[in-house]
Structures are given as C-alpha cells and as structure tokens.
Amino acid sequence: MLFYAAIFLVSYIFTKKILHKFQNHPPTPFPTIPILGHLYLLKNPAQIHRTLVKVSDRYGPVVQLWLGFRRALLVSSASAAEDCLHHNDIIFANRPRLIGAKILGYDYTTILWAPYGPLWRNHRRIAATEILSPHRLHLLADIRAEEVRSLAKRINDHAAEGGDRTIEIKPALLELTNNIMMRTIAGKRIYGEAVETEEGKRFKMLLKELLAIGGAFSAGDLFPFFKYLGLNKAAEKRCKAVFVKYDKYLQELVDEQRGKTMEENNDGDDSKLNNKKKNLIQVLLGLQSTDLSYFSDDIIKGLVQILLLTGTETSSSTIEWAVALLLKHPECYNKAKKEIDEHVGRDRLIEEQDLQHLPYLHCIINETLRMYPVAPILPPHESSEDCVVGGYHIPKGTMLTLNLWAIQNDPNVWDEPSKFKPERFENVEGDRVGYQFMPFGSGRRACPGENMATRVVGFTVGSLIQCFEWESGEEEVDFEEKVGVSMWKAKPLQAKFKPHKEMIKLLSQI
C-alpha cells in the first residue's frame, strides 16, 4: 500500500510540474498542499505585504498561488503591474465575487464591487460628475476649508484648556474626513466642535464594525464546498448583522434628504433647490424621479456606503502617517515650515489654492504614500479572459493580488527605500511615477477620489505644520503597520503640540 501511495504521490507531483511548465503558467511555490494550496505561506495577515515580498523574492515578480481553490496571481514588479493594469486593463477590470461583497455591497452593485460593465461605468460617471470632478471639487472647496479650520480650532482649544497638550491625532482626523464626506454626500456635519453628537457616535461605531469585517475573505470564498456544507454560515451571519445596521442608517440618510427635497419643492419655489449646491443624495434622488427602475434606493445607498468608506479612512490614515514621519524627521518638518512661511506667510491661514505653490509639501505626501500606501495590496481584481502577464499564460478567472507596497519599496528601483526622503520626488509632476509609484492604482479601476484625496491630505498636513509645533508624545514614534481595509498605524500616534506663537491670534479667530 505504502509503495503504491508513494508511486502515486511522485507521479502526481511530477505530472503536475510537467503540466505546469507545458501550460506556461507562472512559477508556483512548492509544495501546493491539497485543498489548502499555499495558504500556509500567508502568515501574519497584519503585515501581509511584507510576507508576500518573501514569496516574490524567492519565486520572482509573477507567481501563481492557490488560495484554497482560488487561483491567484501575485504581482510584485512595475513591469508586470503594467501588463495587468495597462496591456490587460479591461481583462483585469473585474472584481472577484466575494461573499462579503455580496452581502455588504448590495449584491455586487456598488462602485467598488460591481463587475466591469454598464452599471459600474454609470457609478463612476455619477461619482465623477457629482462630487469628484475638478469642477465639483472647486464648488465644494468651502466645505473642506471649513472642516480643516475646524480641526485646527479643536486642536487649539485642546491646548487652550491647559491640559498636557498631547493628542491622539487619528480620531480627530477621522472626524475631519467623515464631516467632509458627510457634508458632500448628505449636506450635514456629524461631528461638532465641542461635543460628540449621538449620530457621530453611531456612525463611528458602524464604520468600525464595517472596517473590522470589510477587508476579510471568508473561508467560503476560498473553499466553495463550505457554502454547500453550510460551514460558512457564522461568517455570513456576522456580515449580515453589520449590513442590516448600516443599511438602516443609510436608509435614514436617504429618507431625510427625500423629506427635505419634498419640503423645499412644496414651497413652490423650484429654483431654491436648483440654485443651491445640492448634496449627492439630493442629486441621486433627482435622477430617481426620472428613472426609478435604475436609481433604486439600494443603488443610492450602495454608492453612498462606498464613498463614505473609501473617502474617510484612507485620507485620515495617510495624514496620520505623514505627521508621524515628520515627527521622526524634524529636518523635513522645518523645510516644509519654511516653504509655507515663504509662500503663505504668517498673516493668514493656508488655503487649498496655496498647495500648487508648495512643492516640498507635495513631495512629503508622495513619499508618505510610497512608504505607507493605504492599499499595500490592491483590492482584488479578476481576469475575465485568458491573457499574458510577464510572458506567462494567465487563465480566465484568476484573482490578481498586486503587491503595491513591494513595487513602491523595491530596492532595485528605489534608492534606500526604507528611508523617508521626500526629496526623491522633487521634479516629479503629479502623483505617480509610471508603474513604480501609483498609490491610487492605475487603469480603469484606479481610484476616482485621487483629486479630492490629495487636496484634503495636502491641505490638512499643511495646516497642521503652519499652525502647530509638533513633538513626539512617545519616546520614539512607532511605525508598525497593521493591514485591514487600509494600512493603519498599529499603535495610534500620540503627539505633543503647541500653537506657533505667531499663529495664536489667527487661531483664536476661527
């Protein structure tokens, strides 16, 4: 028996290897354990980008993995990324149909999870024209300015209370980005300056729950038989419980705006609403009244859900990383401060329009996004046809796992990649360098919020530099990463601060 088993095993491995070579598939780590595939390689999910670098260091920039029953393509070089996101852009513009995305994402109808096709294109068009286009961003500039000022005021008030002037900065940053997005989407703030509103508390809790499960694969995604044996029920139940709560909240937001629109229309003065800057939900409700079959409440809630999710955590995490890096590198902080002093001065607060005259600040943001991209592994894409990547044959239905962090920290491309050197981005225009630096992704599925994000992040970091002197609240700033829906600082940043003397008067006038 043992003899036959050994013969069977050897010939199985041998045939698989020969077949693999013959089919021109990318290299695959050995062993591929039956059923589990290469899941044994994915240790330490909190730093999965670093774990996967070990795999690509050993097997090359294009690797085929089996995650349970799911075929995945691990890509870790700029040229292979270009193959996926440029040469095969349309083929990889799909997303895999994950169970969580079905339950939380209104049956794959949201902008993030919809398959490449007319529905997704429509979402992108609406998001672009109604809130993310340069024109709309220009119209909504007041909201961002008021919220960034409000953040500076809150921090300043914290100092004025005479406390120890140490602040955990992330919660304040999340309130900032939540307020910006909520005002843009539903025309209201959910965090006040002094006290936290009930709605603010509720939203924070919902977001926390959504973030806790939103980034995870469930076992049923990797082992389809789990579903048929009913083994995935607990995970699905957890997802559904979060979905029900979040959906209820979103429905209330939509109904509230529906009520307001009707009230204002009943005033008999149609121009009132038309002349105002409508919020996104009002625009979507307007479209609903002309095409109810398409713009259902679920479609509206789905779009709002994803914009609230993608537009808040990402920017606030990037600002936190940038401040942490500046605390560790006072020479960079001083250089940015000098640039702001020269171009803005101390008689007025920095404005968003000033960003175009602050190239060094822009370098700081780029360098932060290079070292700590919020999506170190891009959200998964999936090939809709057979294609070629790095010279290898990639079958239809392969899940793309693109290690953006590996590409942006590749020592063969970047000089001393683990060092914070904003100067490396001097003379670089825009927010990407080919496929070597693309923190917002590339191709059809690239981030549609890039313009808004760079404005919010640049403007906020600029204001924090202009208004306050910062110092680390810890002995040494900790840079451990934790990957979830985005890449967080594992240990929230504690920072000591005091207002710059020359700015006290301006700050007190906000």
Binding residues, by number, are: 447
Q: Which is nearer to ligand HEM, 133 or 251 (CB)?
A: 133
CB of 202 to ligand HEM, least distance (A): 21
Phi, psi angles (nearest 5°) of residue 37: 65, -125
Residue showing tokens 């008021």: 146
CA distance 377 to 243: 25
Question: Cβ–Cβ contacts within 10 Å for residue 440, how many?
Answer: 20
Residue closest to ligand HEM (Cβ): 449
Q: 293 CB contacts (<8 Å, ≥6 apart)?
A: none
CB of 92 to ligand HEM, least distance (A): 9
- Binding positions for heme are 447
Q: Which is nearer to ligand HEM, 52 or 503 (CB)?
A: 52
CB of 89 to ligand HEM, least distance (A): 10
CB of 191 to ligand HEM, least distance (A): 17
CB of 124 to ligand HEM, least distance (A): 6
Report the candidate in 405, 413, 329 with the shortest Cα–Cα distance to residue 374. 405
Q: Could you give the C-alpha distances from 71 to 1, 36, 223, 400, 414, in angstroms and in order?
A: 32, 12, 12, 9, 30
CB of 270 to ligand HEM, least distance (A): 29
Q: Which is nearer to ligand HEM, 378 or 394 (CB)?
A: 378
Sheet with 468-472: strands ordered across: 166-168, 494-499, 468-472
What residues does 65 pair with on adjacent strands?
72
**Dihedral in degrees, nearest 10, Cα atoms 370, 376, 382, 383:** 40
CA distance 389 to 51: 22
Q: Could you give the C-alpha distances from 380 to 62, 340, 370, 400, 448, in angstroms and in order?
A: 15, 39, 20, 6, 16
The encoded tokens of residue 264 equal: 């204002």
CB of 447 to ligand HEM, least distance (A): 3
Q: Which is nearer to ligand HEM, 50 or 444 (CB)?
A: 444
CA distance 76 to 57: 9
CB of 26 to ligand HEM, least distance (A): 20
DSSP-based three-state secondary structure for 36: coil
CB of 452 to ligand HEM, least distance (A): 5
Q: Which is nearer to ligand HEM, 487 or 503 (CB)?
A: 487
CB of 411 to ligand HEM, least distance (A): 22
**Dihedral in degrees, nearest 10, Cα atoms 458, 355, 448, 130:** 110
The encoded tokens of residue 433 equal: 């360098």
Binding stretches for ligand HEM (CB under 6 A): 111-112, 306-307, 310-311, 314-315, 318, 369, 374-375, 378-379, 439-441, 445-449, 452-453, 457
Q: 431 CB contacts (<8 Å, ≥6 apart)?
A: 366, 369, 439, 440, 450, 454
Q: Which is nearer to ligand HEM, 165 or 170 (CB)?
A: 170
Q: Return the axis-axis angle of helices 280-290 and 297-310, rounded to nearest 10°.
A: 160
Report the candidate in 489, 468, 467 with the shortest Cα–Cα distance to residue 477. 489
Q: Which is nearer to ligand HEM, 332 or 447 (CB)?
A: 447
Q: Return the axis-axis angle of helices 169-186 and 313-328, rounded to nearest 10°.
A: 150
Q: Which is nearer to ligand HEM, 86 or 498 (CB)?
A: 86
Q: 443 CB contacts (<8 Å, ≥6 apart)?
A: 85, 86, 89, 92, 93
Q: Which is nearer to ligand HEM, 28 or 431 (CB)?
A: 431
Q: Which is nearer to ligand HEM, 96 or 448 (CB)?
A: 448
